[in-house]
Amino acid sequence: MIVCDVDLGGSAAAAVAIAPPRYAGHHQETIVTPFAHRRVRFAAPLAAFLAALFAAIAVPSAHADAPPTGAQLEQDAAALMAEHRVPGVAVAYDSGGGADAVFQLGDANAISGSDVTPETLFAAASLGKVVTAYGAMLLVDEGKLALDRPLSSYLKEPWLPTEPAGNPVTLRQVLSHSSGLPNDITGGNRALTSPPGSAFAYSGTGYVYLQHVIETVTGMPFQDFARDRIFGPLAMNRSGFAVSHDWRGDLSAGHLPFLPVSIGVVVAVLVVFLLLWLVGAVVQRVRGRGWGVPASTLRVMAGLSLAAVAILAAVVAGSDILPSLALAAGVPLVVIGLVFAVAPRFAPLSSRAVLRTVQLTAAALVLCGAFWFAVRAVLLPVPLLKGNDVNAAFTLRTTAGDLARFADALAIGKGLSRESRAAMLAPQIRVDENHQWALGPSILQTRTGPVYWQWGSNPGFESLIAVQPATGRKLTVLTNAGGGNDVARELAARVFSEPASAFKINN
């Protein structure tokens, strides 16, 4: 018998055994035919070929699951930043053998050009939900909360307007986004949209409710609870749901594309102006003065249009947004005003009012279009959240280093009992064909074990945290632009050997 053993790089071993046929006879002789000689002659080459084939199949599969090095991930992050127009990112990465990389790239503010540093704070948005869930599980271990006890039972006054009889909202349902509460991060809308526990429905309101309950059972403001029970023990010394005055200078600005903001503000102002003009024209007509509106009245209408849009923006987004809107819309609005005010004095225009208006409008559109084309790639810094706003659903500010320490704690259940750690990472409800939700993070099932992850999204900020206890891989990504969502997903795809689309949940 000829046996050929071939080493396939530790991933497989092939043994090809070829024996010449034995024929029954009185002396049990082995008869080797010419065909058998040929078969023996080609056995070794055939075995080598098969071994190489198996290796070609097996080895790439192993390499496909190999995580990138820290240097490779940093190069990928830089390329993705440029591709998706993200001014700054901060990343912490562990391939499973200890911290591989914590790096910061780019600008904290695209206008000032200030660098992202290890001290730079990013708005982590919904990553605060997982942090809050961890804090809630600490209280479960202390007996101050219970997973299946109605949250309303901890309160003297009900927080929800109504609850189904016999089916109140519980902590388990809030943490697994199955409470039936809406996704209103302000907590203003508290009406149930579905029966508690019946289905997955991503909910910011649930975490605002939980924040209120935590403050009640601990007797502490939520920011103080997070500082003393979560951030302090985990050495997350640059994290908070509120921002102290000392940290204000280290906050990264968020960034939105200049072009849509500029066009949106200009269109809003023009719509209000046209409505006012229409009212004025009708009034003139009723008075028997034709449809014409005096120039002095038009100037007043223009001012009222600007004021109306500014007031609306301040009511919806806060007064801090007004400088950004002025920066975005100032130039095109000035151009439009100058065209209509100056051009009639110098340009040869039609004597007919309608044609003259068309000519001026066309000129204004051309000039505004040229401006918008020139700034199409510009990013606009958005105003920072007020430092004293505290909301478990979206006001977490943190650094890459601090978030890495939380990822370590989440992966091993640091500070939690064995039962609470197991409960926190156990599937609670199905989300879609690829995801379930645990008590805090979502769960992506992969070939190498479940990945527990959460995304964060505030205007101008995108973030992600993901841990895989089975392999020890961990990734945290903080970015300061809308395109950061794509950056975070692509980096997660490289670390966990899954498609980027896997790190997306339609909520």
Looking up tokens 């990553």 gives 127
313 vs 266, residue with greater confidence: 266
**Residue 267 backbone zone (phi > 0: left; psi -120 to 50: alpha; other: beta):** alpha
Average pLDDT, integer, range 315-330? 76
Which pLDDT value is given to residue 387? 65
* Prediction pTM value: 0.78
DSSP SS3 for 156: coil
Contact 138, 232 (CB under 8 A): no
DSSP state of 95: -
State the pLDDT confidence band at 137, using cuts at 50, 70 and 90: very high
Contact 141, 417 (CB under 8 A): yes
Q: Quote the CA–CA distance of 128 and 241 in Å, as a whole number.
A: 8
- Which pLDDT tens digit goes with each residue over 40-95? 444 554 445 444 444 444 433 434 478 899 999 999 999 999 999 999 999 999 99
Average predicted confidence (pLDDT) for the chain: 85
Is residue 277 pLDDT above 50, yes or no?
Answer: yes
Q: Which of 146-150, 314-318, 338-342 has the lowest mean pLDDT?
A: 314-318
- Which pLDDT tens digit goes with each residue over 390-433? 999 999 999 999 999 999 999 999 999 999 999 999 999 999 99
Q: Quote the CA–CA distance of 397 and 238 in Å, as a whole number.
A: 8
Nearest to 179 by CA among 129, 221, 134: 129
Is residue 441 pLDDT above 50, yes or no?
Answer: yes
Is residue 437 pLDDT above 50, yes or no?
Answer: yes
Q: Quote the CA–CA distance of 315 and 448 in Å, as a whole number.
A: 48
Average pLDDT, integer, range 475-502? 97
Is residue 280 pLDDT above 80, yes or no?
Answer: yes
427 vs 315, residue with greater confidence: 427
Is residue 14 pLDDT above 50, yes or no?
Answer: no
Looking up tokens 């109605």 gives 150
Nearest to 410 by CA among 215, 236, 241, 237: 236
Burial class, 41, CB count within 10 angstroms (exposed 0-12 / middle 13-18 / buried 19+)? exposed
Is residue 376 pLDDT above 90, yes or no?
Answer: no
Which pLDDT value is given to residue 92? 97
- Which pLDDT tens digit goes with each residue over 163-220? 888 899 999 999 999 999 999 888 788 999 999 999 999 999 999 999 999 999 999 9
